[in-house]
Chain A
Amino acid sequence: MSEPDKFEDDLLYAMTRTGEGFRTEQGELVAGGLVRGRRRWRRRSAAAVVSGAAALALVGTGAFYLSGSTGASPVASATIGAAAAPTATGTTGTATPTAAQSSAAAPISGGEVLATFQALLPKGQVTDAKGTGTDKDGGRTAYANLVFDDGQGKSLMGLSIQKHRKGQSQPRTCPADLKLASLDSCATTTLPDGSQLVLSQGYEYPNHRATTKEWFASLIRPDGGEIFLSEWNSAQEKGAPDSRPDPALTLDQLKAIVTDKSWDRVVAAVKYDGVDPAVEDPGLTPEEKQATLAKLLPAGFQVASARNANGNVTTYQVTGGQTSGGLIVRVDYWGRPYDDKDLQQRAEKDRQAMFKDATTLPDGTKVAVAAADQVNPKASPARVEVLRPDGLHVQVVNGPGDKPLFTLDQLKAIATSPEWKLKK
């Protein structure tokens, strides 16, 4: 295959792999699209061109990335590590499921979320109230919507609560050019407890198609909880015209609501979105892994460099005599459950498939071996998967190169070595 063709092939694969990894709450997207669609339909008389800028401030659903769970390609399902069932043999139940802690909190009902919200509102009339608790939709979001009237006109309010893991959320920021983003004001502050607060005054339609305003407060707490409260100067849902000049609550009032301690219970009950990397952490430092590998390489070979050494999967550049090449080593732990039932089920299915034709060693270790694909060895290189009775998973794969670096037996010797030890 010529070089350009190969690059295109690689790109095709990388796109598939990357694209397939994005997951989100489809229901919310569809519902959001429908709501906007209705609005647009009602106002279609003029060419409605709505920029998405303001909507960036809308609640983001907990999008998360899963690897190859859909089995987008043979390689995809093979390379994933979210694979093999915590097989009956060795996986003890003693592991502390760090991720499961958040789900230990009692679920909160939609009624409670709503009640908490209403208790924080000033005096006024509430209509069209609806709350969704953590007992629905996997418990990753809690929200409440209502129309509030302080006597000066109706104001739609939407509140949502999510929880992001450290390093897995993008903090909300204010745009550099408020005018361009059609914002009247935007300010970010760090509160004494470390929470990040964003207060913003903008418009439902950044191009001012309608005068409807949207003001919001977003609080990201040190525990990852995000409380997001939006309000409009309209009852909105029936495409009503503005019901008042400004939304009902001032920014100070919005701030008081999102920072209130009564949300603690709800935040505790909401599950983190995304996958907890700690679940799969085998507890080995990059140095330990590299030292172990160095011991196991065939005579005359040594590790020249390592890429992505901090992750569970590292690509080592290995040299020996005239040869050199990449070796991909994944070491992870399968003994802890994910805090998400769907994810867990998918992982178990993948893991079972991966070790379907495995051989079992006397000590209970399972070994699955896959020779390189005859037609396209680069798309599916030789690979050895090992699952130890204690839940340690070791995967060793020949990296790319014109010539495979090691034979299947050599890979097997590396992967099955008892030198790989779980340190959890």
Chain B
Amino acid sequence: MRRIGCGREAKDAEFLELVSSRTGHLYRSACLLTSGDTHHAEDLVQEALSRMYVLWRRSAWTGGRHRIDNPAAYVHTVMVRTFLAQQRRRSSTERPTGDLPEPEGRESDSTLRLTLLDALGRMPAKDRAVLVLRYWEDRSVEETAEVLRASSGAVRTRTTRALARLRTLLGDSLAELVAR
């Protein structure tokens, strides 16, 4: 890391320190959101980090007027919102399902992974986001609502609907794979 100086270098060094420890988890969330499209996931992470960078620079510039209370959690929020915004724009170019990359790595886990990712890939982006927030990031209904800029009630409804949809897609295969 650079010696603390002034200006951009110092700011950048602080930023790197801030996000470095979170990036792995951020990437994994992105992979789930994009249902295993690692290229898209990488893009999403970088996009979220870059947005975070701007917010963070601005907060420093405005003397903390726009201070971010929990940067680690916030960058996840930024990413989910970015993802949903992208999906809205690119919905017509959505990758067809069944087009998942070949399993990389161990095959046993690939089965669980591919089964889940394939099912996630068949769901609407918002449903996917709700499930990732609730079941991967372990966020509360209220937190999820905040991320999605929706009401708690709407999140509850969407979660129930998304779970039902996923159950239909997965049938019993999830239980079987999980029991391994």
Contact = CB atoms under 8 A, between A and B. Distances in A.
Contact of B105 (A11, A274, A315): A274
Contacts of B26: 29
Interface string B57-90: 1100000000000000000000000100110011
Given A11-B163, A37-B51, A65 B90 contact: no
Nearest to B177: A14
A168 B66 CA distance: 44
B12 A34 contact: yes
B86 to A, nearest CB: 5
Contacts of B116: 14-15, 18
B109 interface: yes
Interface residues of B, number: 69
Interface stretch (B130-138, B139-147, B148-156): B130-138
Q: Which range holds the interface residue count of chain A? A: 35 or more
Contacts, number: 240
Contact of B132 (A7, A15, A328): A15
Given A15-B32, A19-B136, A37 B54 contact: yes
B101 A170 contact: yes
A6 B175 contact: yes
A24 B41 CA distance: 10
A14 B31 contact: no
A6 B170 CA distance: 14
A381 B178 CA distance: 10
B117 A52 contact: no
Contacts of A40: 50-51, 53-54
B104 A311 contact: no
A65 B104 contact: yes
Given A16-B136, A37-B49, A22 B105 contact: no
A275 B23 contact: no
A44 B19 contact: no
A50 B90 CA distance: 12
Nearest to B115: A14
A18 B105 contact: no
Interface centre among B26, B93, B135, B167, by most chain A C-beta atoms within 10 angstroms, is B135
Interface of A: 4, 6-8, 10-24, 26, 29-30, 32-41, 44, 48-53, 55-56, 58, 60-61, 63-68, 75, 79-82, 165, 167-170, 175-177, 180-181, 274-275, 277, 280, 307-308, 310-313, 315, 326, 328, 330, 378-379, 381, 397, 399-400
25 contacts: A13-B178, A16-B136, A17-B113, A19-B136, A22-B31, A24-B42, A26-B20, A29-B27, A30-B20, A37-B52, A37-B53, A40-B50, A44-B54, A51-B90, A56-B39, A79-B109, A168-B102, A169-B101, A277-B105, A308-B108, A313-B111, A326-B176, A378-B178, A381-B180, A400-B175
Interface of B: 8, 12, 15-16, 19-20, 23-24, 26-29, 31-32, 38-54, 57-58, 82, 85-86, 89-90, 92-93, 101-113, 116-117, 131-132, 135-136, 163, 166-167, 174-180
